[in-house]
């Protein structure tokens, strides 16, 4: 390669550092800023004696195999039974889901069928109108709750400024065979730390989809293609309420079994998330909502643009490879790409679990690229298919007092 002109070299180096800086800020700088900000806010732990009437709303589509176990798990929650209602909303299920729920014959359990298969968000909109609880807890049919999860969630509603509360994902890979399992677990543990810091400072801008709650009086009906756990939280913030994070409200869910399933899920979630943020443009204006805009740009928009910055780093590293430092960096980039590609055909994660991290990082960012194009061409994701196993094995895997104790230590 002929020597670069001084102007081109300076431009390439500047582009490299801008791209690298954006990635470092998105994944490291932003969490560090949150840690610093959190030092100026006291931890406030609400009392456990606030137990308002609660409806656990379970959205289901063709969940015959696991819906009975899910409902029974919910009935076993440590919450006053005269204040707990369970509503299963069946989004046009074509298997035996509806009959399985009816056979439970428990006065605390109700079935609501929504015809037409219009998707999870539409089903939730319809069901909320029929819920009797003051607080609505939204759950998936494949998720297991720790027995104290609902009690931990709703105690925050003793504060009238709180409009929504999110619980915490605890992913697990029971078989150890998922190529992206370790990456998924590590990434969501990292995300949970960020949520805890955001909540301590002021408010979240998004919830965990399989365990979050909303004060019924604060619920906003959403478009069918809205990512409800994100857009509902943003609607709560827009209406002047706070969204809190409760790390002790644990939900256990199994990771996807294959790379293809993880990729498809990430594309769907990211596309709905991007469209969701675009649906509330006023929250992106820092002069109107400074804290919310700061979070959305730092935690959402920049994350979605990381593939663009990665491409910038790759190109500029190649252009500047005549310099030893950039040549070594380019070699490391190529090695990471080779590891990710190799993991598609060779179970490297079985040798050493961290070897699966390049693959998960690649899946995540490839999904962001596809999602950006999906949004640009107007693609809407409305319906969903279950991609995980029943997940009920999580009850024995992690829903234990020791897991909750570990959570308390981590977030003390």
CA pair distance 75, 49, nearest whole angstrom = 20
Residues 237 and 294: beta-carbon distance below 8 Å: no
Q: How does pLDDT run across 193-207, given as a tens digit for each residue?
A: 999 999 999 899 889
pLDDT at 238 over 70: yes
What is the three-state SS of 67-96? HHHHHHHHHCCCCCHHHEEEEEEEECCCCC
Q: How does pLDDT run across 260-280, given as a tens digit for each residue?
A: 888 888 898 899 899 999 989
218-222, 260-264, 287-291, 380-384: segment of lowest average pLDDT: 380-384
Contacts of 103 (CB under 8 A, 6+ apart): 68
Q: How does pLDDT run across 299-323, given as a tens digit for each residue?
A: 999 999 999 999 999 999 998 988 8
Residues 19 and 309: beta-carbon distance below 8 Å: yes
CA pair distance 217, 241, nearest whole angstrom = 11
DSSP 363-393: HHHHHHHHHHHHHHTT---------S---TT
pTM of the entire predicted model? 0.86
Orientation angle between helical segments 306-319 and 357-376, nearest 10 degrees? 110
Which of these, 336, 331, 59, lies nearest to 211 by C-alpha position? 59
Q: How does pLDDT run across 54-107, given as a tens digit for each residue?
A: 999 999 999 998 899 999 999 999 999 999 999 999 998 988 999 999 999 889
CA pair distance 339, 318, nearest whole angstrom = 19
Residue extents of the structural domains in the chain: 54-299+390-410
Q: How confident is the model at residue 177 (pLDDT cuts 50, 70, 90)?
A: low
211-225, 252-266, 396-410: segment of lowest average pLDDT: 396-410
Q: How confident is the model at residue 360 (pLDDT cuts 50, 70, 90)?
A: confident
Return the number of other C-beta atoms located less than 10 Å from residue 125's C-beta. Answer: 21
CA pair distance 231, 246, nearest whole angstrom = 19
Cα–Cα separations (whole angstroms), residue 278 to 238, 272, 281 = 14, 10, 6
**Tokens 């046009």 belong to which residue?**
92
Q: In the prediction, which pLDDT does 386 show?
A: 59
CA pair distance 13, 175, nearest whole angstrom = 45
Q: Per the structure block, which two tokens stand in for 366?
A: 């490839």
Q: Percent of the chain beyond pLDDT 90?
A: 55
Q: What is the architecture, at CATH level 2, of domain 54-299+390-410?
A: Alpha-Beta Complex (3.90)
């Amino acid at each position: 390669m002929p020597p670069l002109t001084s102007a081109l070299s300076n431009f390439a180096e500047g582009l490299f550092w801008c791209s690298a800086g954006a990635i470092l800020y998105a994944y490291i700088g932003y969490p560090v800023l949150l840690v610093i900000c959190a030092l100026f806010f006291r931890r406030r732990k609400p009392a456990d004696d606030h137990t308002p009437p609660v409806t656990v709303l379970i959205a289901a589509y063709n969940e015959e195999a696991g819906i009975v176990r899910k409902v029974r798990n919910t009935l076993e929650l440590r919450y006053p039974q005269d204040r707990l209602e369970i509503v299963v909303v069946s989004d046009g299920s074509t298997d035996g889901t509806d009959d399985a729920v009816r056979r439970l014959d428990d006065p605390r359990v109700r079935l609501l069928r929504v015809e037409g298969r219009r998707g999870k968000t539409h089903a939730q909109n319809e069901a909320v109108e029929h819920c009797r609880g003051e607080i609505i807890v939204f759950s998936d049919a494949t998720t297991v709750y720790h027995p104290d999860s609902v009690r931990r969630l709703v105690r925050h509603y003793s504060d009238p400024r709180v409009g929504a509360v999110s619980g915490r994902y605890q992913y697990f890979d029971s078989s150890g065979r998922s190529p992206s399992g370790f990456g998924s677990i590590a990434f969501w543990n990292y995300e949970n730390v960020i949520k805890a810091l955001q909540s301590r400072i002021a408010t979240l801008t998004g919830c965990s989809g399989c365990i979050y709650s909303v004060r019924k009086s604060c619920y906003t009906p959403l478009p069918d293609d809205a990512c409800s756990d994100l857009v509902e939280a943003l609607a709560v913030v827009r209406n002047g309420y706070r969204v809190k994070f409760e790390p002790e409200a644990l939900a256990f869910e199994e990771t996807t079994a294959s790379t293809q399933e993880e990729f498809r899920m990430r594309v769907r979630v990211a596309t709905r998330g991007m469209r969701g943020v675009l649906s509330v443009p006023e929250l992106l204006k820092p002069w109107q909502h400074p804290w919310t805009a700061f979070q959305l740009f730092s935690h959402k928009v920049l994350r979605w643009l990381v593939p663009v910055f990665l491409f910038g780093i790759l190109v500029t590293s190649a252009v500047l490879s005549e310099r030893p430092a950039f040549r070594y960096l380019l070699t490391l980039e190529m090695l990471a790409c080779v590891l990710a590609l190799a993991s598609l055909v060779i179970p490297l994660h079985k040798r050493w679990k961290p070897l699966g991290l390049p693959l998960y990082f690649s899946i995540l960012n490839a999904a962001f690229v596809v999602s950006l194009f999906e949004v640009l061409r107007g693609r809407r994701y409305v319906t969903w298919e279950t991609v995980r196993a029943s997940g009920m094995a999580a009850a024995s895997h992690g829903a234990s007092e020791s897991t909750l104790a570990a959570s308390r230590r981590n977030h003390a």
